[in-house]
Structure 1
Amino acid sequence: MRDSWFSASHGIMLLLLLGFAIAHSGLAALRGWGESKIGARLYRVFFALVSIPSATVLIIYFFNHHYDGLILWQVQGIPSIKAVVWSLSAISFFFLYPATFNLLEIAAIQKPEIHLYETGIIRITRHPQMVGQVIWCIAHTLWIGSTFTLLTSLGLIAHHVFAVWHGDRRWYQRYGDEFLKVKERTSVIPFRAILEGRQTLQWQEFLCPAYLGVTAFIALLWWGHPWLIAVTARVPW
């Protein structure tokens, strides 16, 4: 029922978000123990086999129910609002995806490591995935305006805010005082460390294949977005 508050899809999405958060953050927390048992590469594969299907289910369910519940506002008819939403979405991907640069480690071709660095996007914010997720949620909630999308966005943001604490904790466990020094020179809030003089932005660091790949991905997503919506609509969820 699209005209009623808190339809069944709202509760299902909450459960899906909770399940994903437990699986993703839980496996991240168990990384040290898991790698000691089965090795870093195999644990990365196991992590991917759990996380990727969970995320895929979330994405499909969101696409198929994003207008469920009440429509709290309607701004799609406002001139230029679509450009604003697409611009925010594009910016969000530059924060979301260059957070991990070594694709060979992601694919477990090289031994996965917990890296501590402060270059590129990390100079802007120590937790780019959280910032990117917040921007993405703001853009999509603004465009759609439904209670289902608002609930989904709040759930995603809550998980990523938790991941800020969780990530800092794992970095400290791994690097100790070395991480504390990096923490002093970086910030969670975008550009804060730069504005306070604790960090300096180096634009040349953004001239790398990772950002070129993200740009290509954004262009592909823009082109294929209608097709993606049509394909996911075929899933009977």
Structure 2
Amino acid sequence: MLMGLPTWLTPSHGIILALLLGFAVAHSGLAALRSWGESKIGARLYRVLFALVSIPFATILIIYFFNHRYDGLMLWQVQGIPGVKGVVWGLSLVSFLFLYPATFNLLEIAAIAKPQVHLYETGILRICRHPQMVGQVIWCIAHTLWLGTTFTLVTSLGLIAHHIFAVWHGDHRLQKRYGDAFLKVKERTSIIPFLAILEGRQTLELQELLRPAYVGVLGFVALFWWGHPWLMQVTAKVPW
């Protein structure tokens, strides 16, 4: 016990929250300034600026999480229970299918094609209007289940809080840009997965989900599974 704090409450708990807050401010702040920024320096250059800020920040977050994932109090230990590892990997696969619908516009992401704000209502957006939020929640559930530490729980709660804010922020920006057109899309979609479909406000078109980008996501998950032990060894060499 140090100054009234339990010994398991390591400084890393506060550091990861500070890093998450910094990333949220930078990421959401640049998203909010997109229209203004593009009017000053152009859409492609602003996308490059966005990437130069977001990618290094995200890399720091990932490395710090990897290196401190077992910090704090162990709340539960399920890694030795048969089937749990398969459940965790299965949930992780599903999370990536929700997390990366943006891979449908790789040329825009790389600023090769002019980046644009799209008002979609097809594919995975029929299931959920904010698939990245859903994917992040699923990822957090899977990894918190597997690791079982207070550090992982704190990280997951911080990530989920950021994505919940991003849901509001994203809707606000789209409504400001598209007005009534977005409100009509909002009426036909839902934040909770499948809710709009179950309520009859939306239909599920499975053929829209058969896209090459999902093959890329599956390939990425397979590569990540294969390289996971190596990645842990590499990040462990970073002294923080």
Please confirm whether the aligned pair reaches a TM-score higher than 0.5, indicating the same fold.
yes
Q: Look up the match of 2:95.
A: 92
Q: Which of the numbers 66, 75, 78 marks the counterpart of 1:75?
A: 78
Match of 1:141 among 141, 144, 148: 144
**SS class of match (2:101):** coil
Residue equivalent to 1:42:
45
C-alpha separation in 2, matches of 1:38 and 1:97 = 27
Residue 230 of structure 1 is matched in structure 2 by: 233
Does structure 2 conserve the Cα–Cα contact (< 8 Å) formed by 1:99 and 1:129?
A: no
1:19 matched residue in structure 2: 22
Residue correspondence of structure 1 range 55-204 to structure 2 within 5 A: 55-204=58-207
Once the two structures are superposed, residues 58-102 of structure 1 have per-residue CA deviations (whole angstroms, 9 ceiling, x without a partner) of 000000000000001111111100000000001000000114511
- The alpha-carbon deviation at position 140 of structure 1 amounts to 0.1
Q: Distance in 2 between matches of 1:19 and 1:5?
A: 24
Counterpart amino acid of residue 65 in structure 2: F
Within the candidate set 10, 27, 47, 1:7 is matched to: 10
Letter in 2 for 1:43: Y
Shift of 1:11: 1.0
> What is the deviation of 1:4?
3.1
SS at match of 1:113: coil
**Tell me, what secondary structure is at the counterpart of 1:93?**
helix
Give the Cα separation in 2 of the matches to 1:128 and 1:182.
15
Specify every segment of 5 or more residues in structure 2 that has no aligned partner in the other structure, as ranges. Answer: 1-5
Letter of the 1:59 counterpart:
I
Q: Which amino acid is 2:198 matched to?
A: L
Number of the residue aligned with 1:28: 31
Q: How far 1:5 moved relative to its partner? A: 2.7
Q: CA RMSD in A?
A: 0.9
Range with greater deviation from structure 2 (206-215 or 61-70)? 206-215
CA distance in 2, matches of 1:132, 1:5: 30
Letter in 2 for 1:60: I
1:229 and 1:110 map into 2 onto residues whose CA distance is: 35
Deviates more, 1:41-50 or 1:98-107: 98-107
Which TM-score applies when normalising by structure 2?
A: 0.96
Match of 2:220 in 1: 217
Aligned residue-pair number = 235
**Which amino acid is 2:23 matched to?**
F
How far apart in 2 are the matches of 1:228 and 1:205? 34
Q: Which moved more, 1:3-12 or 1:210-219?
A: 3-12
Rounded to whole Å, the distance in 1 between the matches of 2:239 and 2:52 is: 23
**One-letter code aligned to 1:141:** T
